[in-house]
Structure 1
Amino acid sequence: MKNPSEARQFLDGIRLAGTTDVYLYLTAKDFASSEQAIRVLVEALGSLDVRVWAMEGSRSYFSDEDGPAALYNALDEVVAFNRKFGRHFFGFHSDLEPQGGQGESKDLFHNGIAASKLSVEQISDRKRIVTDWLRIHESLQSRCNAGGLKYGGAIPSWADLYEGEPLFASFQGVTKPVVEFLLSFVDQYVIMAYNTNPSNVLGRVKGEIELANAMKPRPSVIVGLETHAGPGENVSYADTPSKMSKAAVVSDLAFLTNSLKGQASFGGISVHDWVGWRDLPGAPHELPALDYSVPPRETFRDRRRAP
C-alpha cells in the first residue's frame, strides 16, 4: 500500500480474478510499524467483498528452535487490530511445515523415509516434531476461537500419506492419522498440492477431501497451486515451460473446480502467490464461468504421489 501504483495493480487483479479470500503475510512487528497501511489495505479488500486472513509461519516456530511465541504474538496483534477498528480480519492462517530442508533447521522429521523404515532414534525425532506441530495447531485454534477469528492452515500434501504409508501420531491420549488431527483443528485446510498437472493434483488431495467430507463440523478444503518462481519444473507454473502463463493456470483452475465441485468439503483453489501470478506472462484473466450442469470431467485417481 506504500506504492499506490502497485496497490492499484494488486486490487485490480484481485477484483478481476473474482478472488474470495486473500492471505496477508504479517508478523507482529508489521502491526506496530504499518498499522495504518494494513488498515487501508484490509478496508479496500473488504470493499471488494474479499475475506482477509492474516498469515504467519516459519520452521523456526517449532519448539526445537525459537518456539511459537512470536507466532502467537502475531495472532494477538490481529485480535487487537479487530477490536480497535472493528472486524476487518476474517481469520488467521498458519504455514507450519515440520519437514527438514528449510534453511538451517535440523531434520527431525527425517525426510524421504517411510514410517516403517525409521530407526528407533528417528522414530523418536519424528514423534517429537509431529507432536509439536499438532500442539501448535491446537493452541492456534483455541486462541482464534477466543479472539473471534476463523482458523486455517496451509498443510503439505503428504500429511495423509507419506512415502506410500499413512502418517500416524499419538496426541492427547489418542492415536490416529495425523491428517485427522489436522483437519479437526482448522476451519480452512489449504493443501499445498503444488503440481502443474491437474490430474496429479487430484490424486494429492483425494485423502484429505474424502476425510473432510465425513466430518462434523466439516472443514473447508482448499487446493493450493504454486506460481512463484523457484520451486522447480512441474511444481510451479513459473518454472514449467509448457505451463508458464496465466492462461494455463486459469485452464487448470477450471478443470480442478469442475472435477471437485461435487465434494462437500471442497472450498476452492488457492494460488500462491500474488507476485508469482502477477509475473506470469499474459494479460490478467478472469476465471471463466463454470458449467455445473455437466458431470465432472475427471474423478479422483489413486492416492500415490505423482511426480
Structure 2
Amino acid sequence: MHLPLLFCAISVIGQAVRGAPALSPRATANGLIRGMWVWNSASILQSPTQINDLIAGATAANVTDLYFYMAPTSYATVTTQLQTFISQASRAQLRVWGLDGARTYFADAQGPKLFYDGINNLIAYNNVSSASQRFYGFQADIEPPDSHVDGQNLTAFHNSIPDSQLNTTAGSGVWQPTAAQDREMLMRNWLSIHETARNTLHAASLRFGAAMPFWTSTYYGEEVRVSYPNSTSLRQCVMKYMMHYVDEYVVMSYNTDPVNAAGRVQAQAAYASTLPVGSIPNVFAAVEVTTGVGIYISYGDTPGKASKQVVVADMKNITATLVKYPAFAGVSIHMWQAWQALPA
C-alpha cells in the first residue's frame, strides 16, 4: 500500500545548519522529512531480502531518512555490507544515519568513550567509501532517566521528582553530594556529550541528530533546568541548551491521540523557531508502533489504532497542528520491524 504524501511547505528545511551539509531535494519536495528507526540492522545487513524489504517498505511509507543502529565497534567488520546497503538506499533516495545510544554512556556509568568511538568509526568508514555509500549523519539516543542496565542501578536522575523537590542535603546524592547535584551534573554531562558529538561530526561535514524525551519542559509540572557549562552560566531548561548542539531534535512524543502527541512537541518547536536563521534545528514529532510498549502510547497496543492507515492519518493531524512553527520538520516512526508487521 502506497501511503499518501503530506504536503506542507516548511521554510526552514534545507538550510545549512551550523556548518552541517544542506538537506537533499527529496526532503524539500513536499516540505517534510520522515525518519524511521531501524534497530535490527545486523540481520538486515546479512540478508539481501531484508535489505530489499526495508527499502521497499520505507519508500512506500514515504520515509526519507533511516536511523540505522550501529554498534560502535562494528563498522570495520561490515564495511562491504554497509556499502552495498547504503548504495541501494541512496538509489531509492533514502538517507542513512548511524544510530547509537545507551544510558551507560553517561559519566555516572561507563562514560561516553565508546559512544565517541562509534562516531569516529563511522567517520572512518565514510572516508573509505564512495559518496553514494556514505552515512549522511549520526543520531544519538541517549536518555537520562534512572535505569537498571548491565547490572548497574543508575539513579542519578531521581525519577518522578521535579527539580524544586530534589534533596539538597549532603549525603542524599548517589553520584554527587546531593540529589539536586546528581541531576545537575547528569544534565551537564548530557549536554557535553552532545556538544562533543556535534563538533566531531560537523568537522567531518556530517549532520548530528538526537532522539529526545518530550518531558524536559513539563517534568511533573516543571522544567528540567541546568546551568551549562558551569554554575555561573544561565540557568534554563535543558532543552533550550540542547537545541544549540543538534541539527535534528526528534521528540519521542509517543501518544496515540494526535492532539496529545502534538502537544508534546509544541514547546520544543516554538523555542527552536525563535532562534536565528541558520541556527534553527529541525524539530520532529514521533509515533511509536511497537507492541508491548503500552496502550495509548503505541499504536501497536491500542485498540482501533493498530494499522498503517490510522498512523498516517494521525501523523497528518500532528503535522497540521505543528506546521505553524518554522522549525517543525516532520514526524518519524519507531520502528521498522514493528511497522513492517503492522496491518495496512
**134-143 or 169-178: which moved more?**
169-178
Q: Does 1:165 align with 2:222?
A: yes
Q: Which secondary structure does the structure 1 equivalent of 2:147 belong to?
A: coil
Identity of aligned residues (%): 32
- Comparing 145-154 and 103-112, the one that deviates more: 103-112
> 5+ unaligned residues in a row in structure 2: which ranges?
1-44, 169-177
One-letter amino acid of the counterpart of residue 194, structure 2: H
- TM-score, normalising length from structure 1? 0.89
CA contact (8 A) 1:157 1:205 kept: yes
The one-letter code of the counterpart of 1:67 is G
In the alignment, is the contact (CA less than 8 A) between 2:226 and 2:238 conserved in 1? yes
Aligned-pair CA distance for 1:32? 2.2
Cα distance in 1 between the residues matched to 2:148 and 2:83: 32
Aligned counterparts of 1:102 and 1:157: Cα–Cα separation in 2: 21
Q: Aligned to 2:254, what secondary structure does the other structure show?
A: coil
Residues 15-39 of structure 1: CA deviation (Å, up to 9, x unaligned): 1112111110002222122111111
* Corresponding residue for residue 37 of structure 2: none
Question: Aligned AA for 2:265?
Answer: V
Match of 1:92 in 2: 138
| Cα distance in 2, alignment partners of residues 221 and 102 from structure 1 | 30
Hey, what's the Cα distance between the residues in 2 that align with 1:222 and 1:4? 31
Q: Is the 8 A contact 1:59 1:102 kept in 2?
A: no
Task: Report the CA distance between 1:86 and its aligned residue.
Answer: 3.1
Matched letter for residue 129 of structure 1: L
Aligned twin of 1:222: 284
Shift of 1:161: 2.1
2:159 to 99, 111, 118: 111
Q: Using the TM superposition, give the Cα deviation of residue 251 of structure 1 relative to its aligned residue in structure 2, in angstroms.
A: 1.1
Structure 1 residue aligned with 2:147: 101
Conservation of the 8 A alpha-carbon contact between 1:60 and 1:105: no
Secondary structure in structure 1 of the residue aligned to 2:208: strand
Please say which of residues 250-259 and 18-27 is displaced more in the overlay. 250-259
What pairs up with 1:132-147 in 2 under 5 angstroms?
Answer: 132-147=189-204
The 1-side partners of 2:123 and 2:164 are apart by 43
User: Are residue 249 (structure 1) and residue 249 (structure 2) matched?
Assistant: no
Q: 1:235 aligns with which of 297, 304, 327?
A: 297
Cα distance per residue 1:47-68 (max 9 Å; x no partner): 1111211011000111111111
Aligned-partner Cα distance in 1 for 2:49–2:315: 28
Separation of aligned partners in 2, 1:13 and 1:213: 32
Tell me if the contact between 1:25 and 1:56 (Cα under 8 Å) persists in the aligned partners.
yes
Cα distance per residue 1:68-91 (max 9 Å; x no partner): 111111101111111111342111
Q: Which whole-Å deviations, capped at 9, do the CAs of 1:113-143 have from their partners, x for residues lacking one?
A: 1111111122111112111111101111111
Checking the alignment, whether the CA contact within 8 Å between 1:193 and 1:205 is kept in structure 2 is yes
* Conserved? CA contact 1:153–1:189, under 8 Å: yes
1:146 offset after TM fit, Å?
1.2
**TM-aligned CA deviation for residue 4 of structure 1:** 2.3
| TM-score, normalization by structure 2 | 0.79
Q: Give the match for residue 259 of structure 1.
A: 321
Partner in structure 1 of residue 340 of structure 2: 278
For CA contacts below 8 A with separation 6 or more, give which structure has more relative contact order: 2
- The Cα of 1:102 is off from its aligned counterpart by 4.9
Give 1:262 deviation, angstroms.
2.5
- Give 5+ residue unaligned stretches, structure 1: 283-307
- The answer to whether the Cα contact below 8 Å between 1:59 and 1:105 also exists between their aligned partners in 2 is no
- Residue 72, structure 1, aligned to residue 72, structure 2: no
Tell me how far 1:105 sits from its aligned partner: 3.6
2:94 and 2:48 map into 1 onto residues whose CA distance is: 19
How much has 1:8 moved relative to structure 2? 1.5
- Cα distance in structure 2, aligned partners of 1:84 and 1:32: 10
Q: Which residue of 1 aligns with 2:27?
A: none
> What is aligned with 2:240?
180
How far the C-alpha of 1:263 sits from its partner, in A, is 1.6
For residues 308 and 185 of structure 2, the distance between their equivalents in structure 1, rounded to whole angstroms, comes to: 41
Equivalent of residue 268 in structure 1, options 327, 330, 338: 330
Q: 2:13 — aligned with what? A: none
